[in-house]
Copies of this chain bind each other. A is one copy, B any other.
Amino acid sequence: MNEITSLERREGGPGPIRRTALHDTLVSHLRDMIIEGDLPPGTRLHEGQLGEQLGVSRTPLREAIKYLASEGLVELVPSRGAVVKRFSAKDVRDMLTVLQSLEELAGRLACEAASDAGIAEVRALHDEMVRRYKAGDRLQYYKLNQQIHTAIAQLSGNAALADMHAMLQTRLKRIRFIGHEGPEKWAAAVAEHEEMIAALEARDKERLSEVLGRHLMNAWERVRDAV
């Protein structure tokens, strides 16, 4: 599915606006390939082959792989290259436990630090997400869902918190991406999101923190079968 041309190295726009660095492009491209299952867990990242597929030589590819290794998506095996990291059910549960703790903290901080405009943006994302939910558009729902959680982490105003949150969320993306919840669980998740937004708009720290915590507890129930 990923052809050579899928990796556009330059902005095609008019004028010398802004060049996208190849490194960043490669990293996000590989990340996507892992998340979306193009590169299943356990797959060896063959430098020559993969580089040819993407139309890139081995050098920048290797750099991107090292970056992803530090991010925790791939594992480096000395003299044997890199393989896509495999997460056990316990790993996923553990990640969700940490994510829960981080989001509870983020919720509390966000109620204090967020600007009204920032909260309004999250509300807008939420409304859009609900629209997608009603339309049954799973993919867009899923993406907006992630965006909302990311946005709340950022509203905390704590960069380190947002960083750690983003890292865990990235590792979990693949799991959630394949986790297909039934209609009733899906509805419950949306309801929890409603609560979240309400608490955020009311700047009710404890309530937001509690809802976020509960939401992630339930998230485990929703994905546990997929793992």
Contact = CB atoms under 8 A, between A and B. Distances in A.
A5 B51 CA distance: 34
A74 to B, nearest CB: 11
B23 A161 contact: no
Chain copies in the assembled complex: 2
Contacts of A159: 91, 94
A114 to B, nearest CB: 15
Interface stretch (A65-73, A117-125, A218-226): A65-73
A2 interface: no
A105 B159 CA distance: 20
Instruction: Determine the interface band of chain A, counting residues with CB < 8 A from chain B.
Output: 35 or more
A19 B78 contact: yes
Given A94-B158, A101-B101, A105-B101, A163 B66 contact: no
Contacts of A164: 98, 164, 167-168
Contacts of A76: 21, 23
Interface in A1-43: 19, 21, 23-24
Interface string A134-172: 000000000000000000000000111101100110010
Contacts of A78: 19, 21, 23-24
B23 A94 contact: no
Interface string A51-76: 00000000100111011111110001
A102 interface: yes
A95 interface: yes
A97 interface: yes
Contact of A23 (B19, B66, B95, B160): B66
27 contacts: A19-B78, A21-B78, A21-B79, A23-B76, A23-B78, A24-B78, A62-B63, A63-B63, A64-B66, A66-B66, A67-B70, A69-B70, A70-B70, A94-B159, A94-B160, A97-B109, A97-B160, A98-B102, A98-B105, A98-B160, A98-B161, A98-B164, A101-B102, A101-B105, A160-B171, A164-B164, A167-B167
